[in-house]
Amino acid sequence: MIESHDPRSVIVAGGGILGCLTSLLLADAGRTVTLIEQNDDLWLETSSVGEGKVHLGLVYAHGTASTRTGMLSGALAFAPVVERALGHALDWSTLVGDPFDYLVMRDSLLRPDELAAVYRSLDDEHAGLGRPPYLGMAIDQLAAREPHTDETGVPAFATAERAVDPDALRALVVAAIAARSDRITVLPATRVQAVDQTDDRVRVRVSHPRSPDCVERTLEAAAFVDARWHWQGHGVQGVSVSPRNLRAKSAVMFDTEASARTVTLVLGPFGDVVRRSSGVYASWYPHARIAHEHRSFASTALLAAVEAANGSTDAESAAAEQTAALVELGLLSPDARALSVRTGVIIGEGSTDIHEHESRLHDRDGAAVALDGRVALPRSLKLTTAPSAALATATAVDTLLREDSAS
Ligand SMILES: Cc1cc2nc3c(=O)[nH]c(=O)nc-3n(C[C@H](O)[C@H](O)[C@H](O)COP(=O)(O)OP(=O)(O)OC[C@H]3O[C@@H](n4cnc5c(N)ncnc54)[C@H](O)[C@@H]3O)c2cc1C
């Protein structure tokens, strides 16, 4: 059965930060959007499991300058684009935590003096831009120019970098989508199976995996935005996806008593401790990386590992190794008790891991969009760059539809 839609409407697949913001920006441009999400609710996958760090580029000190510039520009655009999508200004102080200290581990891939040189150059870049605000705040320095000795005894850099609370941001964005029901129709529990296109429309075959008869139907629209994260491109006619570095990464939530600190451990396979008003998020990479593979699309084994970790009923045992490592470093209280485990898929390039000097995980693309006829493929491998990618995508699709109307 083909259901005809408004021929000027857009189908957005994937209700994480990227799909949600793209939908809101398209609605703001006057477009009618159908937002398709396989889960029962929006923003329950990757966008909800991370530490929410809005990267200034510092953690990519071993990568290319263009990676750092891409992160910095994504970070500076983060607040303005989110506010534009929501249609109002936000008090960012209620959404972000304390600034990160960067603690330099003894086996860091770069020495403190090497890190300081990279941080200085990134800070000069920010100064050269006229020091635009970051997350609604004025900042006069991205990172200290010299390290100090941290209370744990290692060299450390104070930075301006912060994390947003993904749960708090989700609540605002989901409410904004509900308030735009005049233009955005959300189809939950609906899975995109296949996409093809003609000169004047896209056809999107969807299923309802949890309905008793698992009925399939085909929706039509003028354009399709694929914001399905690691499933992007799957089943889309004419799109091929090269093998990528897919890692299932797990983090642990504690109550607020577990730590009073917000730190990132650099540079290499280490971790973070992030204090939020609702609790403490922590990860220790060597144990946090529960599965990895180099494939175009995640295997069922990798996805089963993600599901098992998230569904763990014995959070303490799933988190025990990470907790023990962070307690030993003096970053978590010895009484810290894990409350829950959060796991998701991270996408990177190459097949080697972050502890290797040559690993391509030291680099990440910035924000972009590729338009293949009527199919838009936003490119953002980080929460940081998702708002910029959403804006680029909404602009590209809106331009395409304007050209349709003009012809
Ligand atoms: C542990 C972890 C920590 C991270 N920390 C950070 C960080 O601190 N800073 C940072 O910048 N980035 C971080 N990231 C990366 C960041 O979380 C992602 O880049 C971002 O959340 C991706 O958003 P998204 O909307 O593209 O994907 P998602 O949030 O995964 O949304 C995609 C949606 O598509 C839906 N979907 C998939 N297939 C289908 C289908 N066939 N039909 C319908 N719907 C479908 C999914 O259910 C999902 O809701 C982290 C990632 C992980 C895993």
In angstroms, how far is CA 141 from the centroid of its own chain? 25
- What pLDDT sits at residue 154? 97
CA angle 326, 329, 330 (to 5 degrees): 90
Tell me the CA–centroid distance for residue 45 and ligand 1, in Å.
Answer: 6
**Residue whose CA is closest, atom 28 of ligand 1?**
16
- Give every strand in the sheet of 184-187, ordered side by side: 184-187, 33-36, 10-13, 223-226, 375-379, 368-372
pLDDT at 172 over 60: yes
pLDDT at 317 over 80: no
CA neighbours closer than 13 Å in the CB half-sphere of residue 189: 8
Tell which residue, 132, 247, 237, 135, has the closest CA to residue 195.
Answer: 237
- What pLDDT sits at residue 314? 60
pLDDT at 313 over 80: no
8 A C-beta contact, residue 301 and residue 290: no
Tell me the CA–centroid distance for residue 46 and ligand 1, in Å.
Answer: 3
Q: What is the pLDDT of residues 13-23, one digit of tens each?
A: 999 999 999 99
- What pLDDT sits at residue 311? 72
The identity of residue 343, as a single letter, is: T
* Per-residue DSSP letter, 214: -
The identity of residue 319, as a single letter, is: A
- What pLDDT sits at residue 364? 86
- What pLDDT sits at residue 350? 83
**Residue whose CA is closest, atom 33 of ligand 1?**
14
- Nearest-atom number in ligand 1 for the CA of 234 is 41
8 A C-beta contact, residue 218 and residue 212: no
In this structure, whether the domain defined by 2-46+170-242+365-406 belongs to CATH 2.70.98.10 is answered with no
Q: Quick check: pTM over 0.75?
A: yes
**Where along the chain do its domains lie?**
2-46+170-242+365-406, 244-350
157-182 in b/e burial notation, b at 16+ Cβ within 10 A?
Answer: bebbbbbbbbeebbeebbebbeebee
d(CA 198, CA 39): 29
Where does ligand 1 bind, in terms of residues with CB under 6 Å? 13-19, 36-39, 45-47, 49-53, 55, 191-192, 227-229, 231, 249, 251, 344-346, 381-384, 386
Q: Among 114-128, 283-297, 336-350, 351-365, name the most confident range.
A: 114-128
Tell me the CA–centroid distance for residue 47 and ligand 1, in Å.
Answer: 4
> pLDDT confidence of 212, banded at 50, 70, 90?
confident
d(CA 352, CA 227): 26
Tell me the CA–centroid distance for residue 383 and ligand 1, in Å.
Answer: 8
- Nearest-atom number in ligand 1 for the CA of 382 is 19
Q: What is the pLDDT of residues 285-304, one digit of tens each?
A: 988 899 999 999 999 999 99
Quickly tell me which residue has 């990132």 as its tokens: 264
pLDDT at 160 over 60: yes
Average pLDDT over residues 96-120: 97
- Nearest-atom number in ligand 1 for the CA of 47 is 21
